[in-house]
Amino acid sequence: MEETEEEKKDEADYKRLHSFPLIRHSDMPEEMRVETMELCVTACEKFATNNESAAKMIKETMDKKFGSSWHVVIGEGFGFEITHEVKNLLYMFFGGNLAVCVWKCS
């Protein structure tokens, strides 16, 4: 079956809408938030089928760039309650249903 032009347009709109990160909550300074968000997008795109590798990449990069004790959770359908250092939390969605939480706790 061939896709109609409208179906192709709807699919393109969906992909465009869900290819941008959506920050749910962050108390990071603007510069750190932008760098962290870009890192999360890069890692999730590079390891699209392996959340563990994406989380490892994010954690190792954050440890090098902003000091140690960073934690990362990536996945679909999880809840969390964490303690974190002030101005060191980012919670975002990417790709429609993928959530990424990055925080520092020493």
Domains of the chain: 2-104 (3.30.740.10)
Q: How would you class 73 by CB atoms within 10 Å of its CB: exposed for 0-12, middle for 13-18, buried for 19 or more?
A: middle
- CA atoms in the 13 A half-sphere facing the CB of 91: 10
Full-model pTM: 0.80
43: which residues sit within 8 A by CB, 6+ positions away? Answer: 53, 54, 55, 57, 58, 61
d(CA 86, CA 31): 15
| Residue 12 banded pLDDT, cuts 50, 70, 90 | low
Give the residue-averaged pLDDT of 33-51. Answer: 95
